[in-house]
Amino acid sequence: MQAITVSDADLFIPRGFQLQKLIPAARKWVFKAWTEPEAIKEWFRAGPDDRVAFATVNLRLGSRFKIGVKDEAGTLHLYAGVFTEVRVPEKLVYTWSIGGGGTHQQRSLVAVKFEDKDGRTELTLSHGLFLDEALKQQFEQMWEKLLNSLEAYLRSSAGELAKIHSATGIGVPRYIRTAAVKR
């Protein structure tokens, strides 16, 4: 995939879409939920019966991530990519492939910006470089559902406990990061 720079100003990626969501949680916790495998396992589901089978994230420039999601029929969907920009807790840019390596038409680029808005987080997600319009529409619908799931996760008791620990300066224990309301 050709290297592309994603502007901080508009997060524009050609042949794609952009979504924004204001999430009622501190940027630090939204970023952690987006990048920590145990949290990803709790919210990364577009359907009510989807389950994350595994999530691995090595949050460094040039490193990889993999997320495996089983749908209600038991089919495993693999999403993988490489981080091309990592600015904790502000911005991530990464390649996106489905089914492992993906075909040329299945590879794309994702950029996510996390902006602090008075203790809440404005999350802007751009996903582009699609060569297939149907795949672009499929992922736009999927990301809308995923952003709603992320918000629900952060509103859950796990999210509330994380905010309390953040305010007191105490680190968040593993049991809080992995706890969530089961759907």
Does residue 1 belong to any structural domain of this protein? no
Distance separating alpha carbons of residues 130 and 135, to the nearest angstrom = 7
Does residue 183 belong to any structural domain of this protein? no
Does residue 39 belong to any structural domain of this protein? yes
Encoding tokens for residue 89? 């807790």
DSSP string, 56-101: EE--STT-EEEEEEE-TT--EEEEEEEEEEEETTTEEEEEEEESSS
Q: For the segment 34-45, what is each residue's pLDDT rounded down to a tens digit?
A: 999 999 999 999
Does residue 130 belong to any structural domain of this protein? yes
Distance separating alpha carbons of residues 182 and 178, to the nearest angstrom = 11
Distance separating alpha carbons of residues 123 and 138, to the nearest angstrom = 20
Give the Cα-Cα-Cα angle 168, 170, 174 (nearest 5 degrees).
135
Does residue 8 belong to any structural domain of this protein? no
Q: Which domain holds residue 99?
A: 17-178
Does residue 3 belong to any structural domain of this protein? no
> What residues does 66 pair with on adjacent strands?
56, 80
Contacts of residue 23, defined as CB under 8 A and 6 or more positions apart, other chains included, come to 30, 120, 121, 122, 123, 150, 151, 154
State the total domains in the chain: 1
At residue 156, the 3 state secondary structure works out as coil
Does residue 88 belong to any structural domain of this protein? yes
Residues in the chain with pLDDT < 50? 1, 102-105, 168, 170-183
Does residue 12 belong to any structural domain of this protein? no
So what's the pLDDT on residue 100? 58
Beta strand ranges found along the chain (DSSP E): 17-23, 51-57, 64-70, 76-87, 91-98, 108-117, 120-128
- What CATH code is carried by the domain that includes residue 81? 3.30.530.20
Q: For the segment 23-33, what is each residue's pLDDT rounded down to a tens digit?
A: 999 999 999 99
Cis ω on the peptide bond leading into residue 89 (within 30° of 0)?
Answer: yes
